[in-house]
Chains A and B, each alone.
Chain A
Amino acid sequence: MNKRSRTQIAAFGMFWLAGIVAVLIMAFVVGYIMVKGLPGITPEFFTTSPRGGLSGDGGIYSTIVTTFYMIVVTLAFAAPLGVGAAIYLSEYSGNTDKRIIRKLVSIARFGVETLSGVPSIIFGLFGYALFVTAMHFGFSILSASLAGACLIIPVIIRTTEEALKSVPAGYREGSLALGANRWETTWKVVLPAAFRGISTGILLSAGRIVSETAIFFVTLGGSYRVPHSLMSGGRSMALHVYYLAMETRAFDKAMSTAAVLVALIVVMNLTINVITSKIATKQG
C-alpha cells in the first residue's frame, strides 16, 4: 500500500470519527436528560402546578399553560408580519423598475439578515426597556411575546420565502394569464401551494419560543402561578428549568422538566421532517 492511500485512510478515519462523535454527543445529551428525567414524570407532574419551596415541590402544569400562551401570542404577532414580509420579498419585489422600491427591498433584506444575528438577550433588554418599563406592560405575557416576536420574525421570513420559491413559476403565470392580479394569484394560488412549507416554518418558530429562556428571563417575570390574562406574568417550561436549577437547586425536577422539553422538541423536529419529506416526494 503506498503512502497516498495510507494518508487517505487516516484522513477518512478522522472524518468518520467526527461524524460518529457528533451523533454520540447528541445521543449522550438526549439520553442523559431522558434517563435522569423520565423517572420523575408521573401524570400528577403534568396536572399540578409548582408549589415553590426549596425542593421545587409540585409539577409543571402552570408552566405548560404559560408556554402555550407564549407560543400563541408570539405567533399572533410574528406570523402575519413574517409571512407578509416574505410574500413581498418573494412575489412583489422582483418585477419593478422603480429605483426607490429596489432600494427599499435591499434595505428590508439587510434588516432581516441583521435581525437574525441579534442575540436573544438584546431582544430581552429591548423588551425590558420598551414594553416592560416605557409602555408599562410590566413583566407579562404581552411584553415577553412582543420581544419574542422579534426573535422569530426572521425565521418565519426565511422559511416562508423558501416555501414560496419552491412553488413552480407556471402556477403564477397560469393564474395571471387568466386575468387574476398579483394579490389574487398570491392568495388563491401561491399561498395554498406553499402551505406545508410555511407551516414547517411556523412550527420551527414555535420550537424557538419553547426553547427560549434569555428573553423571557428578563421580560416574563417568573411567577409560577397560572396566567389569567395577557398582562399576567408567568414562567415558561424552559424558564422553569432555569429557576429549578439555579435558584431552588432542585435538579431532579429540573431534569424531569428538561426531559419534557426535549421530548417536545424531538416531536416537533420529527413532524417538520415528515412534512418536508412529503413536500419533496410531491415535487419529485
Chain B
Amino acid sequence: MTSGIRRTGIEKTMKVVLLISALASVLIVVLIFLFTMKEAMPAFREIGVWKLLSGTTWRPGNGEFGILAMIAGSGLVTLGAVVIGVPLALCTAVFLSEIAPEWIVRIVRPSIELLAGIPSVVYGLFGMVVIVPLIRTIPAPGNAGYGLLSASIVLAVMVLPTIANISEFAIRSVPRGYREGSLALGATKWETISRVMIPAARPGIISAVVLGLGRALGETIAMIMVIGNSVVLPTAITGNPLSIFLSRARTLTGNIAVEISYATGVHESALFATGVVLFVLIMLVNSSARFLLNKGAH
C-alpha cells in the first residue's frame, strides 16, 4: 500500500514539475519583455517615443538619440537580402521537392543544413575577407566595400536555409492528388508545378519568406562585421538610386551590441529602447508568418 501511495505521489509531483517546465518558456518571454521595457522606460520618458523613432541623429555624447538611421539600415539590408536570397531559396525548394532525383537531394539537403549550421561570426569573417574586397572594386566615390550591399549578400546566404527548408516542406505538404490530377489532365510537369503545386503551397511559402525576414532583422554579429556601422541615414552616393546599397549603415541589432558594454544612464536606456523596437518589430513579423501558416492549414 505504502508503495502505491508513494507511486501516486511521484506521479502527481512530476505532473506539476513538468507543467512548470512547460510554462518556463512563456515566463522567459514575459520576463524579457518586462525587463527590456523597464530599462527602456527612462529613454521613452526623457526622449519621447516619437523623437526616438523619427530622430535621424544618434550622438550619445550630445544627448541626441534618434534611431531612424538604424531602422532604415535594418530595413534596407533585410530588403537587399530578400531580393538576392528569396529567388534562389524558392527555386532550391522547388528543385528539392519536385525535380531533383533522390541521390541529388542527398547532396543538396545536407549542404543547406550545413549552411544553416555555420556560425554567423564565420559568415561575418567570410564577408570581410571575400565579399567586402569584391564590392570595393565597384567604382563609386567613397565606396569602401563595407556597407549595405556586402551585408545584404552575406545575409541572403544566411537566410537561404530557413526559407528553402520551410518552402520545401510547404510544397511537399500539398496532397499528392493535386499533382496527379493535374498530370492526368495532360498538363506538363512544369505546368503542374507553376499552376497547381506552387499556388497550393503559397501560404506556406509566404510564411517561409516572412520567417526569413524575421531571422534577417535579428542577425547581429555578421552585420556588425560587414555593414560599416556608421550611424547615417543611407543615401545614394552616385546618381544611380541603387548606389544607396553602397552606403555604410548600422542595424538596430548592431547598435545594441556595439555600445551596450560602455553605455550608462539615458544612453544605456536608449539602447534598451532600441531592443524594444527590435523585439516588437520581430514579434509582428513572426506572428504574421504564424497567422499565414495557420490560415494555410485550414
Interface of B is mostly: helix
Residues A30 and B188 in contact, CB atoms below 8 Å apart: no
Instruction: Give A11 to B188 CA distance when docked, in angstroms.
Output: 12
Q: Which residues of A are found within 8 Å of B35, using beta-carbon distances?
A: 126, 129-130
What is the CA–CA distance of A208 and B14 in the complex, to the nearest angstrom? Answer: 29
CB-contacts of B267-292 with A (<8 A)? 271-272, 275, 278-279, 282-283, 286, 290
Contacts of B1 in A (CB 8 A): none
Does residue B56 face the partner (Cβ distance < 8 Å to A)?
A: no
A269 CB-CB contact with B under 8 Å? yes
A interface residues, how many (CB within 8 angstroms): 90
Binds B, one of A40-48, A55-63, A180-188, A192-200: A180-188
Residue of B29, B122, B290 with most chain A CB atoms under a 10 A cut-off: B122
Give the residues in chain A near B160, CB-CB below 8 Å: 22, 25
Q: CB distance B22 to A88 under 8 Å?
A: yes
- Do A124 and B119 touch (CB < 8 A)? no
Chain A 254-276 residues near chain B, CB threshold 8 A? 254-255, 258, 261-262, 265-266, 268-269, 273
A-B contact list, 17 entries, CB within 8 Å = A14-B91, A15-B99, A32-B130, A33-B126, A107-B26, A118-B29, A153-B25, A183-B15, A213-B121, A214-B221, A214-B253, A218-B256, A218-B257, A241-B119, A258-B121, A261-B119, A265-B119
Q: Are A19 and B96 in contact (CB under 8 A)?
A: yes
CB <8 Å contact, B221 and A217: yes
- Which residues of chain B come closer than 8 Å to A93, judged between CB atoms? 22
Query: Which residues of chain B have a CB within 8 Å of any CB of chain A?
Result: 7-8, 10-11, 14-15, 17-19, 21-29, 31-32, 35-36, 39, 87-88, 91-92, 94-96, 98-100, 104, 107-108, 110-115, 117-126, 128-130, 157, 160, 164, 188-191, 193-194, 211, 214, 217-221, 224-225, 253, 256-257, 260-261, 271-272, 275, 278-279, 282-283, 286, 290
Distance in angstroms between the alpha carbons of A118 and B26 in the assembled complex: 12
Q: In this assembly, does A280 line the interface, its C-beta being within 8 Å of a C-beta of chain B?
A: no
A61 to chain B, nearest CB (A): 19
| Besides the known contacts A26-B111, A153-B28, 20 further A-B residue pairs in the complex with CB atoms under 8 A apart | A4-B191, A7-B190, A11-B190, A18-B88, A18-B94, A21-B88, A22-B108, A22-B111, A22-B112, A29-B123, A29-B157, A93-B22, A104-B23, A110-B26, A114-B283, A126-B36, A184-B7, A211-B119, A238-B119, A246-B225
- The residues of B that contact A269 with a CB separation of less than 8 Å are 110, 113-114, 117
Selected from B129, B220, B283, the residue in CB contact (under 8 A) with A214 is B220
Partner of A81, one of B8, B24, B36, B111: B24
| Contact A114-B286, Cβ < 8 Å, known A88-B18, A258-B122 | yes
Q: Please, how many angstroms separate the alpha-carbon atoms of A235 and B7 in the complex? A: 46
B169 to chain A, nearest CB (A): 13
| Chain A residues near B114 (CB-CB < 8 A) | 26, 30, 265-266, 269
B214 CB → nearest A CB, Å: 6
User: In the assembled complex, which residues on chain B have CB atoms less than 8 Å from the CB atom of A241?
Assistant: 119, 121-122, 125
Q: Choose one: B26, B32, B130; the contact of A108 (CB below 8 Å).
A: B26
Nearest Cβ on chain B to A114's Cβ, whole angstroms? 5
Report the bound CA distance from A254 to B122 in whole Å.
9
CB distance from A245 to the nearest CB of B (A): 5
Residue of B nearest to A245 (CB): B125
Interfacial chain A residues near B217, Cβ < 8 Å: 119
In the complex, the answer to whether B194 meets A11 with C-beta atoms within 8 Å is: yes
Chain A residues with Cβ below 8 Å from B100 are 16, 19
Residues from chain A with a CB closer than 8 A to the CB of B220 are 119-121, 213-214, 217
Q: Are A26 and B112 in contact (CB under 8 A)?
A: yes
CA of A13 to CA of B217, assembled, Å: 32
A residues near B128, Cβ cutoff 8 Å: 245, 251
Contacts of B112 in A (CB 8 A): 22, 26
> B18, A154: Cβ atoms under 8 Å?
no
Residue of A nearest to B190 (CB): A8
Q: Is the CB of A251 within 8 A of B23?
A: no
A7 and B95 alpha carbons, distance in the complex (Å): 16
Most B CB within 10 A of own CB, among A7, A25, A268:
A25
Give the CA-CA distance A154 to B23 in the complex, in Å.
12
A-B pairs, 8 with minimum CB distance: A119-B218, A111-B26, A18-B91, A84-B21, A211-B119, A8-B190, A111-B25, A88-B18
- Point out the residue from A25, A85, A111, A124 that lies within 8 Å of B29, measured CB to CB: A111
State which of B98, B110, B118, B261 has its C-beta within 8 Å of the C-beta of A29: B118
Q: What's the minimum C-beta distance from B21 to chain A, rounded to whole angstroms?
A: 3
Q: CA–CA, A18 to B272, complex, Å?
A: 40
Measured CA separation A36–B129 after assembly (Å) = 11
Query: Which residues from 85 to 117 on chain A have a C-beta closer than 8 Å to any C-beta of chain B?
Result: 85, 87-89, 92-93, 101, 104-105, 107-108, 110-115, 117
Return A242 CB to nearest CB of chain B, in Å.
Answer: 5
